[in-house]
Structure 1
Amino acid sequence: MLRITLAQMRSSAGRLTAAGVAILIGTAFVTATLLASGIITRTTYDAVTARYADADLVVTATYDEPLTAAEVDAVSDLDDVEATAVMDQVGVALVGGSRTVYQSVVAAVDESLQPLEVADGTLPAQDDEIALPADVAERLGADVGGTVAVETWVSDDDGGRSVTRPMTVVGIVTDPAGAYMTTGGAAAVAPATFDQWLADQNGGEATATELAVALADGTDVEAARTDVAAAAGGASREVVTTDERAERVTAEFTGGQDLLFLVFTLTFAAIALLVAGLVIANTFQVLVAQRTRTLALLRCVGADKRQVSRSVLTEATILGVMASVGGVLLGIVLGQGALWVAHALDVPVPLPDAISLTWQAVVLPVVVGTLVTVLSALVPARAATRVAPLAALRPADAPSAARGAGKARLVLSLLATVTGFALLAAGAALGLADQPETGLLAGFTGGALSFVGVAVGAVFWLPKVTSTAVRLVGASGPTARLAGANTLRNPRRTAATSTALLIGVTLVATMSTGAASARASLTSALDEQYPVDVVVSSAEYDATGNPTPLPDSLVSEVAGVDGVARAVPVTTIAPQISWPGAEDAPYQPEAVGVDPGAGRDVVRNDGLSELAAGTILLPSWSGLPTGPDAPATVTVTLGDQSLELRAVVAPVETWGAVLSAADVATLTGGASATGLWIGVTDVSAAGDVVPTVQDLVADSGVVADVSGAAVERASFEQVIDTLLAIVLGLLAVAVVIALIGVANTLSLSVIERRRESATLRAIGLSKAQLRGMLAIEGLLIAGVGAVLGIALGLVYGWAGSAAALGIMGDVALAVPWLDVALVLLVAVVAGLVASVVPARTALKASPVEALAAE
């Protein structure tokens, strides 16, 4: 029987290839996921341990009981200890010309414990020497041999004071391993200088909270750990290896949830395998239908039901093993290829050069892939044994569209669907009512339950939806009507195929809708909190307590920066605002004067919609009476000048008070601008605009603050876009697998209708018309699944957004039109492509040959 099975596999190689591709993609996904988890874990550990360089042990202490200088020396004096380095950092201000950069500083320690690399010059050895990061040296205009002023802090009983000293730049350093990535790099000074600065910062003693220890070659790490712990103060200190330290730091960052990524991505792998299972089940239905006569003959010559069933399952096992092994190899290639691409793109995160294979990444995908294949073949294997030998030798009746499913399945699917959508609606309502935790739990449960109900009940309602689509396309001609009728010949199989596509498309649409809504809601929230992209405000004050003006040249220079759409001058004053009943306790805000029209052009919300000359905008917390008791005007006083202005409660509460520039000029006698409101042309490029503005302000010689809300906005949007790209990439695998199922379903339909197609050809149906009929079938199956998936995805995406984002305020529900159009386009094209191979099969035999076949 095994020889017969292998012979059948050889004769059906093309059909098995389609099923093999489905399971190969799924197992490659699982393998790549497991490998990615290992790479991420290793990369995370390396990122944490990068600053320890080649250290073997790390000694940690608390801020309340830090390591003393004597304890550090005691550890350094141990026989097995080759070198030690204090891992604490000191913050300083570096001044070059008119620019100031705040920078972390570390000690230039032994090479084995030094993660910084010297790009030019040397590491500092004298008290007045310093090595700067390359980007800091460029901003300060400092070269090797040049001088920078270094401002440090000395703590004392009076609170402390700053000390400034000139230091010679002896080296330019880089941080290739990203050891100090979170602090924007690190400068280095001589160990003695660092110890002195650390002592000044800590109030007189160079204490430390972390010490890296490098051991001599051949030293027993566990024995050395005990000795180091004793020298460092015994049980009150913690001595760990660098990997143990990385594991603990990672756990602190993730809250102990460091397995979430693995679970997250394996969930998508499970979705891909589920869809692959549906495709494989349909493929084996194709094979069983194709071999009906062969299986019947085997029964006639003595094969029993178990042997026939075992033959199908053996075929599935062999296919599963071969495809899964291929998937593992593909996953390994993809993992290594991703590393090569990352290195070629010079990503800022240090990554390993090669993947690390584990038995889990090799064995688990093979086991899972084979198991899914065998389970998917159970129903077709059972169908192969269901017909008696003599009955199977007779021509089979075409499948009936009237065949229904069980009542129990109908009841369960209805209960799951109704209950699930009710919970989903409750989750959205709870999220909008500022109860996101409960809302997310209810929404996730409802979404999962309703989706299961929709998928399980698809066999009942999908044929009816398809029937409606058939009536719509049927108006285009008899070929379309034939195609529509063919999709309804076997409702179970059509439903299974559309469901496979429905799952993938629904998840893609859900994530796209959720991300689009999150982006819109986040943008709305940021617009309210940070209405201006970049703000420049004077940080110096005159004798009256008002900010000093900015130079007119600075205003024009900032307006000319590439990426700045508009720079609007503003003037900040500190007036007193009173109204009847508030004369004794006037409102004293920091008020901003701006030209109403220019201000509305640069502000991203409606906060200035009511601003005009003679009007002042006040926030609700100002105490201004509202309603019938609201005063018609308020008195604004600045020094000896007063104005009567109409008071309006600002629609968006962001500023203390806002006046027109003309009214501020009246109060101040024509004061110059003390700040700028800047709008950028592209938020995503704000990271380049803000440093340029900062440099211009620093070069102008004035002391001013530059705050860039646009940078925060861009970082949030980048996170959303990155996560969306990753998720859509993962879900696209499931969609690709489902589209393979469309081709398999059409192939089975062609096999079942071989004689029917020949009859149509014999009575005048042309080859082009037959191809068109199959193309319309593919479009119907793929189109119905895609449209319904998009509709469900919009519902799930909106409900999920409401449940998760309600705490941010008003949730903006968005439709990702581009993603929707792309999914529909892919479905249409894939439906057409999927019909090509079945059409070639249908046209291969002449009408006479097909009609002669028994």
Structure 2
Amino acid sequence: MRLWALRELRETAGRYAAGVAVVAVVAAFAVLLLETIEVFVRALSTTGMQDAAPVRAALTSVGLVFLGIAVLTAAIVISGTFATVYAGRRRDIALLRLVGATSRQIRRASRIDGLAVGAAGAIAGIAAGILVSLAAIGILNASFGAGLEFAWTPQLILVPAVVCLAVSTLAASSGAKIVARVSPAEGARSDAGSTQVPASVARGRGIAGIVLAVVGSGFLALGVIAGLVSPFGLLIAFPGGVLSIVGIILGAPAFTAPIVGGVTRMLRGRGADLLAGANLRANPVRTARTVVSVLIGVTLVTMFTVAGEMYLAQTRAYFGDAVELEQVSQFITVMLIVVYVLTAFSVLVAAIGLGSNLSLSVLQRQREIAVLRSVGLTARQARRMVLVESVVVAGIGAVLGLLLGVLYGFVGANSTFGVQGFSGPVLSPWFVVAVLGGAVGFSVLASILPGRRASRVHPAEALRDS
């Protein structure tokens, strides 16, 4: 099994490029977080501060939250990548099962791929993070005479390496789980690329997702109520947010399928648009993964924006001095900028995931596209088909992310500052326009390479024995 896994890894290494890129982003993010915290704490120590431990603990806690968000997004992307790649090996896996290989052995072999992706991404990301940190320290010293020094610590290497290897290995095993159970009789089927999840598994995930979302919503409501009498309502609302978002991720295929179906059925006129809609409806799991990767990034940015705007609105009534209000506004603005920088890594991971899913989808449907090309689909129509798929998925993810972000920001602000007065969500229309425009822009960019690949599929591929 190991020899088979290593051979397949060598032959299909290019399909893991997005996974390696995602792991590298997470590793670089971890290095930058750890280095920033260490440099900041050491700088405070030089000012005569007696005990920097509380500051270190607070910064580390915040850093771990944002790193965890980036890791969660990366796990979704990597798991989807492995699920699609392993679906393309369905026939080979069925033949291995025929000669005695077990599902556990298949999943164990998939971890070799996960380790390889994790190691490659971790090495690249750690190196990039260190170089960026050195460059940033050099710029600060040259511009402001800060006198900062690069802080070499063992965790700067160990933490990103362990996190990346663990995430990629677990994601690989999870992604290969469904295909690893393939029956030996599947070796005779021609649709070796199918990634459909068994109905029982899909139903179980949907039920679990609904339960977690309902329980999480209950905690969110309790957090808002508690926030009216105590600033610690956030301690109740936070686990509700975690449970609800996990429920949404688990149940994504169930609730995104009707939305995708409704949106794509409104596509009229051009044949490429109709094909794009049919492709998205044909595999709700793959489509849901892409929607969720976009949804998470948009939700984060919207949540903190809404919470910040609501806090400003709630404090205006309590500051009669314009100078004090200006100071609070500046503080919130700086905090939001920091948050945007931290969440930018999760948004980048989501953008890579969007491009990855499109590319792998084109590879998986290569024979299908060849058949369409043989009956008249032009190269331009093939590119448009991929573009429409990308825009539809990114648009749905952005809209759902805005709705969730407004909800979480509203709950977070009222559960923390509700004692100052309950208030409704505040969100600038320009922010909504910027998010939707950014989602469309990202989707267009993400569709360029997959669209070009789809347009280059030769009609003769339809004759290939898959």
TM-score (norm 2): 0.91
Distance 2:199 2:97 in 1: 27
Which of 720, 726, 734 is the equivalent residue of 2:338? 726
Alpha-carbon deviation of 1:834? Answer: 1.9
2:276–2:385 contact (8 Å) kept in structure 1 = yes
1:771–1:839 contact (8 Å) kept in structure 2 = yes
Distance 2:412 2:107 in 1: 45
Distance 2:444 2:421 in 1: 45
Distance 2:82 2:202 in 1: 23
Distance 1:791 1:812, change over 3 A: closer
* Secondary structure at the counterpart of residue 162 of structure 2: helix
Task: After TM superposition, list the pairs within 5 Å mapping 1:807-818 onto structure 2.
Answer: 807-809=419-421, 811=423, 813-818=425-430
1:486 matched to 2:282? The reply is no
> Gaps spanning 5+ residues in structure 2: where?
none
| Cα-to-partner distance string for 1:343-379 (whole Å, 9 max, x where unaligned) | 34428xx451x31111111112111100100000113
Distance 1:783 1:344, change over 3 A: farther
Which of 244, 249, 253 is the equivalent residue of 1:459? 253
| Cα-to-partner distance string for 1:584-604 (whole Å, 9 max, x where unaligned) | xxxxxxxxxxxxxxxxxxxxx
Q: Which residue of 2 aligns with 1:321?
A: 119
* Secondary structure at the counterpart of residue 818 of structure 1: helix
1:413 matched to 2:206? The reply is no
Distance 2:98 2:31 in 1: 44
2:379–2:456 contact (8 Å) kept in structure 1 = no
* Secondary structure at the counterpart of residue 475 of structure 1: coil
Q: Which residue of 2 aligns with 1:40?
A: 40
Give, as a single letter, the amino acid of the residue that structure 2 aligns with 1:29. F
2:94–2:187 contact (8 Å) kept in structure 1 = yes
| Cα-to-partner distance string for 1:490-511 (whole Å, 9 max, x where unaligned) | 2122212212221221111100
1:286–1:744 contact (8 Å) kept in structure 2 = no
Which of 313, 326, 329 is the equivalent residue of 1:714? 326
Larger helix proportion of the pair: 2
Larger strand proportion of the pair: 1
1:338 matched to 2:136? The reply is yes
TM-score (norm 1): 0.51
Name which of structure 1's ranges 380-389 and 32-41 shifts more when overlaid on structure 2: 380-389
1:260 matched to 2:58? The reply is yes
Which of 371, 378, 383 is the equivalent residue of 2:173? 378
Alpha-carbon deviation of 1:764? Answer: 1.4
1:832 matched to 2:444? The reply is yes
Distance 1:395 1:781, change over 3 A: same
Q: Which of the two has higher C-alpha Rg?
A: 1
Alpha-carbon deviation of 1:850? Answer: 2.8
Distance 1:749 1:517 in 2: 41
1:440–1:800 contact (8 Å) kept in structure 2 = yes
Which of 465, 476, 501 is the equivalent residue of 2:294? 501
Distance 1:476 1:829, change over 3 A: farther
Distance 1:380 1:801, change over 3 A: closer
Counting aligned pairs with the same residue, the percent is: 32
Q: Which residue of 2 aligns with 1:10?
A: 10
1:449 matched to 2:243? The reply is yes
Distance 1:461 1:306, change over 3 A: closer
Alpha-carbon deviation of 1:809? Answer: 4.1
| Cα-to-partner distance string for 1:621-645 (whole Å, 9 max, x where unaligned) | xxxxxxxxxxxxxxxxxxxxxxxxx
Alpha-carbon deviation of 1:326? Answer: 1.6
Give, as a single letter, the amino acid of the residue that structure 2 aligns with 1:480. D
Alpha-carbon deviation of 1:799? Answer: 2.2
Distance 1:457 1:287, change over 3 A: closer
Alpha-carbon deviation of 1:423? Answer: 3.1
Q: Which residue of 2 aligns with 1:211?
A: none
Distance 1:451 1:295 in 2: 33
Distance 2:93 2:440 in 1: 36
Give, as a single letter, the amino acid of the residue that structure 2 aligns with 1:25. V
1:285–1:748 contact (8 Å) kept in structure 2 = no
Give, as a single letter, the amino acid of the residue that structure 1 aligns with 2:139. V
Distance 1:813 1:298 in 2: 56
Name which of structure 1's ranges 371-380 and 385-394 shifts more when overlaid on structure 2: 385-394
Q: Which residue of 1 aligns with 2:263?
A: 469
Alpha-carbon deviation of 1:287? Answer: 1.9
Distance 1:723 1:849, change over 3 A: same
Q: Which residue of 1 aligns with 2:460?
A: 848
Alpha-carbon deviation of 1:29? Answer: 1.1
Provide the aligned length of Structure 1 versus Structure 2.
465
| Cα-to-partner distance string for 1:693-727 (whole Å, 9 max, x where unaligned) | xxxxxxxxxxxxxxxx42x3332112111111111
Q: Which has the higher contact order (CA 8 A, sep 6+)?
A: 2
Alpha-carbon deviation of 1:260? Answer: 1.2
Distance 1:330 1:390, change over 3 A: same
> Gaps spanning 5+ residues in structure 1: where?
50-245, 531-708
Distance 1:476 1:801 in 2: 45
Q: Which residue of 2 aligns with 1:364?
A: 159
Q: Which residue of 2 aligns with 1:130?
A: none
Which of 505, 516, 520 is the equivalent residue of 2:309? 516
2:111–2:169 contact (8 Å) kept in structure 1 = yes
